[in-house]
Amino acid sequence: MSRALHLDSNPLRPDFWVDIFANDHPVAIEIGPGFGEFLEFIATRQPDWNFFAVEHLSSRTRVIQRRIDAGNITNARALCAQAECVLAVLPDACVDRFHIQFPDPWWKRRHHRRRLMTASLVAQLRRTLRPGATIEFITDVEEYFRLAFALLEADPGLSHIGIPELPTTTSFSRKAEARGWQVFASTHRKNAGS
């Protein structure tokens, strides 16, 4: 069984990933991994990468941890936390890829302030990315995609480079497919010198 992870409120050392994974492989962070289907899928297919999942619901984090333990997946970790809090303590330029898939759209206008994608979050994502590293964003809500895409495009340190491969391994992607909903996706890369 994996040991519990703790991130204190002080900025972390630049080499802190080595303490967590015991290697210096590139690190991908999945924000809002749901039940961990994509995390399990990608971690088992890319053993030369480390995968770090940040999930705000403790019940889902426990499901993800059980999935990691049952599969003996040594290159994945899960942390129950708010993404904004985790990003705030990460050092600059320490992440090689972010995955954000099917975040809660918070449909009601009065709840829009709870949406994950904001200008400040995008700035933190860019700050923590290494030059040339990427943010993959996927949703089945067109209005939310347009908002997120505009925020990513507005950051001068990021450039749109295309569409990521769409997952077919998560409950959220299967629900979208079953409903016949279109899936919207984009990949943005951190520019050199940003």
Show the tokens assigned to 107.
């449909």
Q: What is the pLDDT of residue 46?
A: 96
Note the pLDDT tens digit of each residue in 128-152: 999 999 999 999 889 989 999 999 9
Do residues 97 and 136 lie in contact, with contact meaning Cβ atoms separated by under 8 Å?
yes
Q: What is the pLDDT of residue 109?
A: 60
Show the tokens assigned to 12.
């972390």
Active-site positions read 104
Note the pLDDT tens digit of each residue in 40-68: 999 999 999 999 999 999 999 999 999 99
Which residues contact residue 114 at a Cβ distance below 8 angstroms, ignoring those fewer than 6 apart? Answer: 104, 106
Within a domain: residue 11?
no
Q: What is the pLDDT of residue 111?
A: 46
Q: What is the pLDDT of residue 176?
A: 67
Q: What is the pLDDT of residue 145?
A: 92
Mean pLDDT over the full length of the chain: 87
- CA gap 177, 144 in Å, rounded: 18
Within a domain: residue 7?
no
Q: What is the pLDDT of residue 78?
A: 96
Count of domains forming the chain: 1
For residue 81, what is the domain's CATH number?
3.40.50.150
Within a domain: residue 12?
no
Check pLDDT > 80 for residue 155.
yes
Domain that holds residue 109: 25-190
Quick one: pLDDT band at residue 110, thresholds 50, 70, 90?
low
Within a domain: residue 89?
yes
